[in-house]
Chains A and B, each alone.
Chain A
Amino acid sequence: MPDTIPGSLRAYLHGLPGVDEVGVRRRAADLATRSIKTTAKRAALDLAVRMVDLTTLEGADTPGKVRALAAKARRPDPADPTAPPVAALCVYPDMIGVAAQALAGSGVGLASVATGFPAGRTPLEVKLADTRAAVAAGATEIDMVIDRGAFLAGDYGKVFDEITAVKAACGEAHLKAILETGELVTYDNVRRASWLALHAGADFIKTSTGKVAPAATLPVTLVMLEAVRDYRAATGRQAGVKPAGGIRTAKDAIRYLVLVKEIAGDDWLDPAWFRLGASTLLNDLLMQRTKLGTGHYGGPDYYTID
């Protein structure tokens, strides 16, 4: 259900406090210097694996590749049964059938991008049909892209209505709204888009498609974590955050977890409320896990090439 916002949407969004850009960068950089070691590191690595949305969004995706990735999602490290499964597999809509079959009974979520990913430049009817088809095929999570053109043109009502309509088309499936922060230019816009998406009913707000540089950054994620924290305080509804794109090393992932704990709080340190959209990250997380076990550094030769 979308929230009712008193007065005009524009007045509301522009009434949000501005983001102190220098302060946000500084805070994110300070938190990135935290040192996480030994048992805390092990717990963080396992949590990060459980938070991964293992993603393959390439034009060259084949059913075989999706099945291979699904097997990896169920059991990331075949040599180590203690490695937990990832949160979800994220694919293009035409691959949902293959993925659903490969993931059946595993408890791993199945996310699909929809609404004309990654540009989102299709008519609303097409976006809704895309969403319904994905849900019908078995997707449990829908990653939609917001209309950045409308947002930047100041047509907030259009963006709001679109998210509301897609949320309705999702039915039971969770909706993640991709803000594509690399195209929003300012932190103020990121904050406005976050609140807009949250009020429109998004279950998650996600930074990027991964097709635009810059993708996820720590400061942008910090602003979005503040939004979900303050949104829960204001309305009582909790929503999640998903940084995606450019997170490649275990060290990066742990920095995001520190951010979650310090900005949003312990309630968000759970795969239900925080996800990491990534593909190569998983191998580095597994390599670091193995290193804690064996004491020596691992090499890419020992892991699958996705």
Chain B
Amino acid sequence: MADIPSHIPSRIPSRIPVRRTYKLYVGGAFPRSESGRSYPVTSSAGVHLANAALASRKDVRDAVVAARKAFPGWSGRTAYNRGQILYRIAEMMEGRRAQFAEEVAAAEGVGAGRAQAIVSAAVDRWVYYAGWADKFGQVLGGANPVSGPYFNLSEPDPTGVVGVFAPPGSPLLGLVSVLAPVITAGNTAVLVASERAPLPAVTLAEALATSDLPAGVANILTGRLAELAPPLAGHADVNALDLTGAGGLAAELEALAATTLKRVLRPGQDDWADPDPGLSRIRPFVETKTVWHPIGR
């Protein structure tokens, strides 16, 4: 037998590690960016964690198309069914608790106990909105007393496709807190994840994909905010924007949204720890439909 050349390591590992590819979530599938690009993601301490897909404006366009396609089906479901599916998302997140906690700890630089608490809060947020799904209609709408022989009803209808910029500082709890109310109301969402800490968003996408949420209802993009935000804000087929994570771009995005008549939510400082955010994030993404019905005799 010949001698083994010296540059080959004497011990070959018994198993080659299988590493995860962090991809986009568009139309229920996990594509890489159309551009083929990716970018390095580091922990809060600067340690390289993984490479995430660097989405392009064409990925934005594809995501909007997927969201628009999903809208009639999702908004047409009963509120009760939407609530059940949101609860199912909570179940799926709970099953991936360890993975979420690890990613939150790395991204936010918090200890294991705090990370677990954040994951719990994120799971509970889905349960919270699952409860609201078939109840916000009664709060925001109702029978109106009118002076005339009419039966008059108002009900909140979903606005349509909503572009959401997730808060950069809270990559899991903040992300869930902005995404959940949008889809609770029956909208479909194109969400741009935190640029610095996108990994929890990709893991959430994997939970969404296994929780009966129809393809295209939530679409998650990772990449540079400055590259993705203008095409999303200017897209004429997007009906509303949540500028929570838009930072310094917010004013420019509001101007772009105005050219195509979008509803815009530009909240102040959010406290993600608040367990009861109420309807503050549902109300901006519904349209009140009022029906006049003559009282027959």
Contacts and interface: CB of A to CB of B under 8 A. Distances in A.
B236 A302 contact: yes
B70 to A, nearest CB: 14
A296 interface: yes
A300 B235 CA distance: 11
B256 A296 contact: yes
A298 interface: yes
Nearest to B60: A297
A96 B234 CA distance: 41
Contacts of B64: 297
Contact of A299 (B231, B236, B256, B259): B236
B259 A297 contact: no
Contacts of A299: 68, 235-238, 260
A301 interface: yes
B236 A295 contact: no
A301 B259 CA distance: 14
B61 A296 contact: no
Interface residues of B, number: 12
A301 B238 CA distance: 10
A300 B237 contact: yes
Contacts of B256: 296
B281 to A, nearest CB: 24
Interface in A266-303: 294-302
Interface size class of A (residues with CB under 8 A): under 10
Contacts of B231: 296-297
A296 B238 CA distance: 11
B187 to A, nearest CB: 15
Contacts of B68: 299-300
B234 A295 contact: yes
Among A294, A296, A300, A301, the most chain B Cβ lie within 10 Å of the Cβ of A296
Nearest to A299: B237
A294 B236 CA distance: 11
Contacts of A298: 236-237
Interface in B43-63: 61
Most buried by A among B235, B236, B238: B236
A34 B187 CA distance: 37
Q: Choose among A297, A299, A301, A302 the residue with the greatest number of B CB atoms under 10 Å from its CB.
A: A297
A248 to B, nearest CB: 12
A295 B235 CA distance: 9
Contacts of B236: 296-299, 301-302
Interface string B219-258: 0000000000001001111100000000000000000100
A300 B64 CA distance: 12
24 contacts: A294-B259, A296-B231, A296-B234, A296-B235, A296-B236, A296-B256, A296-B260, A297-B61, A297-B64, A297-B231, A297-B234, A297-B235, A297-B236, A297-B237, A298-B236, A298-B237, A299-B68, A299-B235, A299-B236, A299-B237, A299-B260, A300-B68, A301-B236, A301-B237
Interface of B: 61, 64, 68, 231, 234-238, 256, 259-260
Which 4 A-B pairs have CB atoms at the shortest separation, nearest pair first? A299-B237, A296-B234, A299-B236, A297-B235
